[in-house]
Amino acid sequence: MKFESITIKNFRNFEDIELNLSNKNIFFGLNDVGKTNFLYALRYVFDKDIRRLNFADSDFHNKQIEKPIEIIVTLDISDTANSDCQKLRAQLKGALQSKHNNVYIKLLAEYNKSELLALPILYWGGDLDNLQEMKQRGYLYEIDYVFNVIYIDSYVDLYSLFKKNVSQLIKNENDDDKVVLTNIQKAVDELNTHISSLSGIKEFEEKLTPEYQKFRDEGISVSIKSEIAVKGLYSNIIPYIKQDDDENLYPTAGEGRKKLLAYSIFDILADENAEKKITLFLIEEPENHLHKSIQIALSQILFTNNKYTYLFVTTHSPFILYEMDDVNLVRIYSDRKINGISTFYKVPENYEKARKLLNRCLSEAIFANKVLLVEGPSEHMLFSKVLSVVHPFYEVDGIYILPVDGVGFSMYFSILNKLEIFNVIKTDNDLRAVKGKGTYSVLGFSRCNNYIGKELLPTEQIQEKSVSAKRALYNANIKTLDKIRSEYSIFLSKVDLENDLDEVMHDRLSTLLGEASPVDYLQDSKHYHMVELIEKLTDADCRTIYNHYNFACLKEVAE
């Protein structure tokens, strides 16, 4: 079974939104754009406990109660051997015909002015124009026999989760257990006998009863008992943590630990139903309370454990995405209205081993509003410095500088474009020797053409590979390159970082670095010497760089 898409109409933030889905989905975007409401839309369809709350007028987009709320989820069930597809078929019965490969699940709610609420009505089937109304049994719809929703709040409370599900989690049904349970009961009785024989307890009981009777004389007496005797065995057990090399028990006090234990409990709960129902995990901001390292561990569990086959996560944390693969990235944003856009992301085969390297930067970038893609760490250092001077809050404004080294531009750039995240490319005017011919292909130009998708720049090979040849090539095409700057936000260097910087402030560089040829010096030990330079650059220097034609990419991304 595969999630295909969802449309939401007239529900809370969403006037009318359509999104592609996959089985693992990550929803991100600024606060208050409706990520939680998006999960609510799914929960109204799949979670009986939410659905029975019905809809209030405030659930209608802008309180437009004349129009119905409509949510449609599309699933692909063409894989007939898949057991989840079979679970659906078994309930859909004749609503699914031989020619159908998709199942549509539709929720419709019309506002009833006399009842002051809207009752959700569910339909499903293989033909969107001719869906069957789902049969209802109490507040259960047919769909509730197929799906099981595990919703994990960002502030999940371990103890109440444990108590609520303790009877499902712990089953003492062996014959031997009966004996033990009888023994426990005896021990509890004994415990209470001991408690009530304590002088302090007796005294307290003797004082308390007449005090109570002052208020109300009902012929009762008050006695003090252990809670376990009154509420049963399970009221009194909670998880403790014992370290392997330590005999003492520790309460599961830390929020991080509690949260991981809670996840473990959800795991077990999902297993209980695994073969009978399709479990959907809806997880809200799992990063809360978790240290970076634990977030990364959680990321590993969510994206590599096949228990989480159907996953819908909202998050603000790039660490949760470090292990992402085969995942649908959904960016929810607000322009004229709340909108969403999505793209499917699969770690390319050749990056399987370098998945973290690739994902780390991408995870950061997709949370940004604007991304500046640069060649490597030298650019990253210099541009961060310049922006932090000119635009001290650039990170707060959602500007992210992404060095693509080792990965290349196209991987990032295509995902960012699909998610409609504004990005600026700053790349070098590279040339590459053609084997055996003594000529050079114009690699930088080809790269630009490639990103644009059109042959705007000439690609004839040239005869020479020198700084001046590169400059000449640039100047010969400056009109086209300027057009590419303004229309596509792609900024080609005249030569490369060091030479372009040298052109801006040769003398100043020489002074600062104490070198006659700052380009050679900087290129000699790139990383180390760039750090040295950055420490020495003044605010005025930074402004000079910022305002120069050669580094206009900075202005583009910052303004």
Partner 1 sequence: MTLSPVQEKIINTPGNLIVRASAGTGKTHTMVNKIAKEINDNHTHKVVAAITFTIKAAQEIKDRLSVDITQHFIGTNNSFVIEEIIKPFMKDVYGSDYDIDMSTDYSREAKVETFQDAIDKIKNEGVLCSYTDNKKNFIFELAQEIVENSTACRLYLQAKFFKIYIDEYQDCDKSMHKLFMYLCDTLKIETFVIGDEKQSIYIWRGAYPDAFVSIWNKENFNKIFMGDNYRSCKQIQNYSNLLYDETQDLYSQTDDLSNIIWLSPTTTNWATEVLKYIDPNKKSALLRFSNDNARIGASELSTSGVEYIYIPQTPVAEITTDTAWLYSAIAKYIILEKYSAYDVISEIPVEGNETRKIVSNIKRMLSKIEQAIIDENAFCLAVDDLAVYLGYETRTDHLKKLYQTITDEKFHVAFEAEKYRHIAITFHSSKGLEFEQVIIFAEDYRLSDVSSLCNHYVAVTRAKSKLIIVKLSNHNANCFQTNLTKIFAKSGVSINDVLVQK
Residue 124 CB, shortest distance to partner 1, in Å, is 13
The tokens describing 27, both together, are: 């929803």
User: How far, in Å, CA of 476 to CA of 490, rounded?
Assistant: 18
Q: Does 112 bind partner 1 (CB under 8 A)?
A: no
52 binds partner 1 (CB under 8 A): no
Based on the shown chain and the rule CB under 8 A, indicate whether residue 365 belongs to the binding site for partner 1: no
CA–centroid distance for 95 within its chain: 35
Pairwise CA distance, residues 78 & 450, whole Å:
37
Residue 92 in contact with partner 1, rule: CB under 8 A: yes
Figure out which of the listed residues 2, 277, 316, 360 binds partner 1, where binding follows CB under 8 A.
Answer: 277
Please, how many CA atoms are within 13 Å of residue 368, restricted to the half-sphere of its CB? 26
Distance, in Å, from the CA atom of 553 to the CA atom of 311, rounded to the nearest integer, reads: 38
Q: Does 80 participate in binding partner 1 (rule CB under 8 A)? A: yes
Among 276, 292, 506, 543, binds partner 1 (CB under 8 A): 276
By the rule CB under 8 A, 219 interacts with partner 1: no
| One character per residue 117-146, x = contact with partner 1 (rule: CB under 8 A) | -------------------xxx------xx
- Show Cβ contacts of residue 113 under 8 Å, excluding neighbours closer than 6 positions: 65
In angstroms, give the least distance from the CB of 144 to partner 1.
Answer: 11
Among 62, 64, 78, 86, binds partner 1 (CB under 8 A): 86
The crossing angle, in degrees rounded to 10, of helices 443-452 and 478-488 is 40
- Burial (Cβ within 10 Å: 0-12, 13-18, ≥19) of residue 539: exposed
Number of residues that bind partner 1 (CB under 8 A): 23
The yes or no reply on residue 93 touching partner 1 (CB under 8 A) is yes
Q: Which is nearer to partner 1, 137 or 353 (CB)?
A: 137
Candidates 57-65, 89-97, 328-336, 436-444; binding stretch for partner 1 (CB under 8 A): 89-97
Helices (H), 339-393: 355-366, 377-390
Determine, following the binding rule CB under 8 A, whether residue 89 of this chain makes contact with partner 1.
yes
Q: What single-letter amino acid sits at 250? A: Y
**Would you count residue 275 as binding partner 1 (CB under 8 A)?**
yes
Q: Taking Cα atoms as reference points, which of 133, 132, 111 lies closest to residue 121? A: 133
Structure token digits, residue 536: 């020495």
Instruction: Please count the CA atoms within 13 angstroms of the CA of 20 that sit on its side-chain side.
Output: 11
Rounded CA separation 234/497 (Å): 67
Smallest distance from partner 1 to CB 128, Å:
15
- Torsion 190-191-193-198 (CA) sign: positive
Stretch touching partner 1 by CB under 8 A, among 23-31, 90-98, 361-369, 451-459: 90-98
- What phi and psi, each to the nearest 5 degrees, are found at residue 310? -115, 110
Is 78 an interacting residue with respect to partner 1 (CB under 8 A)? no
Q: In the set 2, 100, 163, 202, which binds partner 1 (CB under 8 A)? A: 100
In the bound complex, what is the minimum distance in angstroms from residue 414's beta carbon to partner 1? 38
Residue pair 500/551 in contact (Cβ under 8 Å)? The answer is yes
- The DSSP bridge partners found for residue 426 are 491
Contact with partner 1 (CB under 8 A): which of 62, 83, 511, 525? 83
Smallest separation (angstroms) from partner 1 to the CB of 134: 12
According to CB under 8 A, which one of 39, 73, 96, 158 is a site residue for partner 1?
Answer: 96
Residue 146 or 537 with smaller CB distance to partner 1: 146
DSSP at 60: B
360 counts as binding partner 1 under rule CB under 8 A? no
Does 98 help bind partner 1 (rule: CB under 8 A)? yes
Confirm or reject binding of residue 90 to partner 1 (CB under 8 A): yes
Q: For residue 530, give the amino acid letter.
A: M
557 vs 539: CA distance, rounded Å: 19
Which residues of the shown chain bind partner 1 in the complex (CB under 8 A)? Answer: 80, 83, 85-87, 89-90, 92-98, 100, 136-138, 145-146, 275-277
